Structure 1
Amino acid sequence: MYPFIRLAAQSLRAHRLPDLPLDGTHVSHHLCLPWDLDPFLELNNGRTLTLYDLGRIPLAHRVGLIGALRDNGWGLTMAGACVRYRRRVRLFDRLEMRSRALCWDARFIYLEQSIWRRDGECAGHILYRAAVTDENGIVGTERVLQALGQPGETRDIPEWVARWIAAEDARPWPPMQD
């Protein structure tokens, strides 16, 4: 089941924090609970993606994106993700999550999130390609930035992100069915 109560608690906390620029970092804290575990008593890989929601949605509140979505009748979708799992997370481990918009181009905002254990080790890292949408498809980031009152410039895309974008562009779609 989706952790709606945890999301509401994180969102309430975010409302009490100051606004952030689009490239600001939102820091949140989480606890690995029994229903987050897999059969090996570690944080489930699918639940990890859900926990990233608990950092990403409050980030969207703090940068003003949720308000812009509401005001313009827009939606938000994740158009791709690349995740790394590097350290185990076990029951009742306390975690710090760092979430930020890393860069953007004409169509997508690239979001970076990381989960850090209390011992200072990075447990995981994810890069998302996010798109704002309306009834006609993807809303260009220039329009989104204008709605946020942000400068309309694109961001320099780090080389590792550019390589991921190129790899995604080379990936066949739709996938083979045999």
Structure 2
Amino acid sequence: MIACCVLAGVLGVVVLFYVFLEVHYFLRMCLTVLLARFCKKQVHILDETSVYGVCITTDIDTLLYHMNNARYLRELDFARVDFYERTNLYREIRAQGSGVVQGAATIRYRRFLRPFSVYKITSKIIYWDDKSIFMEHKFISSGDGFVRAIAICRQRVLECSAEAVMGVLLDRGGKVNGGLEAGIAPTSAPHVRPEIPPEVALWLESNEISSASLRPTPEPPRC
């Protein structure tokens, strides 16, 4: 009797956790951090990282035909965490400021992912300014290497300069066979910001237009 009550209590707690929290999301996030920190080698801040995924039944849309559009952006959380850990980007941001948030994101779907298909997400930094770091992510199907979707995300750093953060990481070690080795000059010149990609420039212009339209219109002066 006591064992049944204990079992019922445990099951009740588990159910409550799943009701109020997306438990498997947090478990997977913890696993991603552990793997990136202890099982994968560190890479240079300008390197490209990859994580793999499978379109399972919880990822598909109501038509049961392909991966739900919202799931693509959710999967990017795990890809970014892997990149943050392996490049020390998040630790450096924490050391200089308070954190980082997603400021904006745009994604273009080129071809859908079918259920149970395996895919790869690549992540790399393509540009930065004083306040934000811009990352490009690609969903690539394993079977044919086709880029199924491409996303650009703006990571807004808080209470520090993105330029300063990138400067430190560009100075820290160099790339050796895809890994990172201290004391070797980086392959790219430090503190040299890349040219802004045209798609990012136009996207930022679109964001500014959107921001301007959302600002309150000043009331006309009263007579």
User: How big is the alpha-carbon RMSD for the aligned residues of Structure 1 and Structure 2?
Assistant: 2.1
The TM-score with structure 1 as length reference comes to 0.86
2:41 match: 18
Matched, 1:101 2:132: no
Contact 2:45-2:170 at 8 Å conserved across structures: no
1:166 match: 205
1:127 match: 152
Q: Structure 2 CA distance, aligned partners of 1:143 and 1:74?
A: 14
User: Which is further off, 80-89 or 153-162?
Assistant: 153-162
1:116 match: 140
Q: CA deviation at 1:73?
A: 5.0
Q: Which has the higher strand share?
A: 1
Query: Greater RCO between the two (CA within 8 Å, min separation 6)?
Result: 1
The TM-score with structure 2 as length reference comes to 0.70
Q: Deviations over 1:110-156 (max 9, x none)?
A: 1000101122221111001111103xxxx222222245354333221
The one-letter code matched in structure 1 to 2:34 is L
Change (3 A) 1:176 1:43: farther
Contact 2:90-2:99 at 8 Å conserved across structures: no
Q: Structure 2 CA distance, aligned partners of 1:73 and 1:32?
A: 36
Using the aligned pairs only, state the percent identity. Answer: 25
1:6 match: 28
Q: Structure 2 CA distance, aligned partners of 1:172 and 1:67?
A: 30
In the alignment, structure 1 segments of 5+ residues that lack a partner are none
In the alignment, structure 2 segments of 5+ residues that lack a partner are 1-21, 172-189, 217-223
1:156 match: 195
Alignment of 1:34-45 (within 5 A): 34-41=57-64, 42-45=66-69
Q: Which has the higher helix share?
A: 2
